[in-house]
Amino acid sequence: MKYAIFSDIHSNYEALIVCLKKMQELKVDAHAFCGDLVGYGPNPEECTRELMKLENLTSVMGNHDVALFNKDFSRWFSEYASKAMVFTAKNITAKSKKFISKFLKEYQGAHFAMVHGSFNDPYRDYLLTPEQFIMNLPKWQGNICFVGHSHVPFIMSYREGHIPQIDVFYGRDVSIKLMPGVRYMINPGSIGQPRDTNPRASFGIFDTEKYTFRLLRLPYDIKAVQTKIEAAKLPQILSDRLPKGV
């Protein structure tokens, strides 16, 4: 079974359609979304409509998605994230909100587990250190777990009795042969707002039979998104950061 693993779309329609087209070309069997469909970007409704079209989609909710339903979660937002959330709430239909409301808090499946931030706190905890990785290990079953939230693609691995390994991909396209008996937490990076100093949209392919994970980086029309961000009068930082990948 071939899964497309993707995260942090953040209402970036131009990046999303490029990635969805590639997933289709690669003939994935199913889609797994690690959260943050909305927030920051100019096209929350259009992006939600694209996800609605996907067959075999499993999604977990991100902190920007949950803030659509519970304003308490925007307490931790930066000023520009809060402004973008006001824009998002005004530019999304009830039908799309209903679709997002069904995203899971966390997922534990036959092939992998999935959560947006971490199992300690799905909406606030950024999984970044070996200590956090070790603390999360008892909280999910199986050997593969996908996360989002940091917008940085990485793979963390742990074999019983060994020191955990962390590899940040920093813009590289990589293909990894996963090892039996090793537990992995993998971030496929961000489709709509990469922050690993590479502006290309990021997502992964998990092949359960070959037992591989491949990370792909794709260019998209950043200028078109910047024009929309500026026309929507969203904070300037949301436009400026896209070509820098920060």
Per CB under 5 A, residues contacting Fe ion are 8, 36
Cβ 64 to Fe ion, closest distance in Å? 6
Looking at the Cβ atoms of 37 and 178, the one nearer to Fe ion is 37
Q: Do 66 and 39 touch, CB atoms closer than 8 A?
A: no
Positive or negative: CA dihedral 101, 82, 40, 167: negative
Q: What is the 3-state secondary structure (H, E, C) of 50-102?
A: HHHCCCCEEEECCHHHHCCCCHHHHHHCCHHHHHHHHHHHHCCCHHHHHHHHC
Looking at the Cβ atoms of 80 and 211, the one nearer to Fe ion is 80
- The pair of three-digit structure tokens given for residue 39, joined into one six-digit string: 């927030």
Q: Do 159 and 182 touch, CB atoms closer than 8 A?
A: yes
Cβ 50 to Fe ion, closest distance in Å? 17
Looking at the Cβ atoms of 113 and 191, the one nearer to Fe ion is 191
How far apart are the C-alpha atoms of 174 and 230, rounded to whole Å?
Answer: 34
Looking at the Cβ atoms of 178 and 242, the one nearer to Fe ion is 242
Cβ 62 to Fe ion, closest distance in Å? 6
Secondary structure element (H or E) that encloses residue 240, with its range? helix 236-240
Cβ 69 to Fe ion, closest distance in Å? 16
Q: At what angle do helices 44-52 and 13-25 cross, to 10 degrees?
A: 20
How far apart are the C-alpha atoms of 38 and 93, rounded to whole Å?
Answer: 12
Looking at the Cβ atoms of 8 and 196, the one nearer to Fe ion is 8
Cβ 29 to Fe ion, closest distance in Å? 26
Secondary structure element (H or E) that encloses residue 210, with its range? none
Looking at the Cβ atoms of 7 and 157, the one nearer to Fe ion is 7
Residue nearest to Fe ion (CB): 36
Total length of the chain: 246
Cβ 27 to Fe ion, closest distance in Å? 28
